[in-house]
Amino acid sequence: MPTPLIIGHRGAAKHCPENTMVSFERAFQSVQAVEFDLWLSRDNVPFIFHDAKLERTTNGSGYAISKTWKELQVLDAGVGFDPKQDKTFPFRGQGVKIPRFEELLEKYAGKYLCVEIKQNSVELVHETLRLLAHSKCLERCVVGSKHHKVWETMKKFHPDIPRFLSRREIILNFLDFTRGVSQPADPFAVASLPVQKQ
């Protein structure tokens, strides 16, 4: 039986500010892959961040995609990280930034990457795959989103790249399974399901 990959969710999010380079560096000390989330800035720079809004993890405010990359890169992405919940905030003011997608690819091109496209954007799908191909990462990645438009775009234009099932596809596959309906096998489809409610 193949040895399963251990994947760091948003890097090492319990030890370092999530979805940051310091988090990915910590994660790759003990895991084989990292999962992270992508958005496109107002001036079309793919960046790594989880929430739609900036308040929870940075000293910024508003929707992340409404900002230019110049506006995003000055934010402190370690400001809210308080792992012991004692208000010590060990990464605050330590230069932890929101990373560009290309920054991660430049450092970890040889690693396994799980890319969740958070934005319901066909443009971001194509740019993500372009950058992965340019960095020669396509053989070690899986790309996808809960958004069905992202799933359809991946399947139509990038059919040979492993892709996460959209939320709609997961529900439809589950319903087919419960009804005993079999579907043609798709060797590039990956179901990403939490073991508990998040």
Q: What angle do CA 126, 129, 147 make, to 5 degrees?
A: 60
Asked about 9 being catalytic, the answer comes back as yes
Active-site pick, 50, 126, 147, 148? 50
Instruction: Give CA–CA dist 113/135, Å, rounded.
Output: 12
DSSP at 99 = P
Contact 166, 191 (CB under 8 A): no
Spatial separation of the C-alpha atoms in residues 16 and 105, rounded to whole Å: 19
- Catalytic annotation present for 50: yes
Amino acid (1-letter code) at residue 179:
R
- Give the residue numbers marked as catalytic: 9, 50
